[in-house]
Amino acid sequence: MRVRVLGCSGAISHGCRTTSFLLDDDVLIDAGTGVGDLTLDEMARIDHVLLTHSHLDHVAALPLMLDAVAARRMAVGAAPLKVHALSGTIVALQKHIFNNHIWPDFAAIPSADAPLMRFVPIVVGEVLHVGGKAVEVLPAVHTVPAVGFAAASPSGHWVFSGDTGRNPAFWQRVNQMKVALLVIETAFSDREQALAQRSLHLAPQMLAEELAQIQPGRPYPIYITHTKPAETGLIMEEIRRFDAEPRHAEAPRHDIRWLSAGQVFDL
């Protein structure tokens, strides 16, 4: 399985694109602004979109992508693009985006019987079989209904936390998996820890507490995502600092790296 990072920023700026990952060439995890770097041919090959939650930085490109490839998909009689999401996320998209005011309702275009897009409800713990891949829905703790995902590969699971605050249920499940790499959010620096707590995101000291829940003796690369562009340097420095100075002598050091758009992982 190939994972291509289209976007992994917590906001936009020059060179910064919001969250989206392409699994092989047919499954999209979130649909942030990074989708805009795909060619029309690449967008047309996507058959499944898996959404962690309804916030704009994770769904902004979905309506625009559908519009971009609509004529191509209709011309070849392609099956509807399947958008897999929690029921609460689907309701939010129907009410606030695909409502014929903000954007046309592609779930009824060209007709309700043969639309360009179909919503597929998912639940935490479910294993989705999409494009020949098995993707498990993981728990997340956020201000709206939210999930993470774990995609199985021969070398282990590619695990994505989604947007989340403290999340013991996530670690309970992840510790049962063979993990090839973990992508985890850290949206704010420690100076904005109160804002992180209020918005149910992580800051470096909170991340340290989360990583302490990793089962001992099971090291794997950890990639930091969703940093705010103005805070990225500070966030990474604070992460390096806490990892260089473990809480106690037996605490392991982690292999922590910064995720960037354009990276590709072959798993």
Mean pLDDT value of segment 54-69 = 97
The Cα–Cα gap between 74 and 167 comes to 42
| Mean local confidence (pLDDT), 28-57 | 97
Give the mean pLDDT of 95-112: 96
Higher pLDDT, 249 or 213: 213
pLDDT at position 247 is: 60
Q: Is the pLDDT of residue 250 over 80?
A: no
Instruction: Place 209 in a pLDDT band, splitting at 50, 70 and 90.
Output: very high
Looking at residue 245, its pLDDT comes to: 72
Report the mean per-residue pLDDT for the chain.
95
Is the confidence at residue 192, as pLDDT, over 60? Answer: yes
Summarised one tens digit per residue, pLDDT across range 211-225 is 999 998 888 999 999
CA distance 199 to 141: 10
**For position 253, what pLDDT does the model report?**
79
Percent of the chain with pLDDT over 70: 98
Long-range Cβ contact pairs of 228-233 (< 8 A, separation 24 or more): 228/9, 228/10, 228/11, 228/187, 228/188, 229/9, 229/10, 229/11, 229/12, 229/13, 229/16, 230/13, 231/188, 231/189, 231/192, 232/258
Helix (H) or strand (E) holding 120: strand 117-122
pTM of the model: 0.96
Q: Who's near 164: CB < 8 A, 6+ residues apart?
A: 140, 141, 142, 146, 148, 170, 185, 200, 201, 202
Task: Examine the pLDDT at 248 and tell me if it is beyond 70.
Answer: no
Model pLDDT, residue 242 = 86
Residue range 149-165, pLDDT digits in tens: 999 999 999 999 999 99
Tell me what pLDDT residue 244 has: 78
How far apart are alpha carbons 246 and 252 in whole angstroms? 7
- For residue 144, what is the DSSP state? S
| Identity of the amino acid at 230 | A
Res 197 pLDDT > 70: yes
- Distance separating alpha carbons of residues 195 and 18, to the nearest angstrom: 20
Confidence class for position 97, pLDDT limits 50, 70, 90? very high
- Looking at the predicted structure, is the pLDDT value of residue 171 above 90? yes
Q: What is the mean pLDDT of residues 161-170?
A: 98
Arithmetic mean of pLDDT, 8-17: 94
Alpha-carbon distance of 159 to 161, in angstroms, equals 7
In sign, the C-alpha dihedral spanning 30, 235, 194, 229 is negative
In order of their start, the domains of the chain are 2-266 (3.60.15.10)
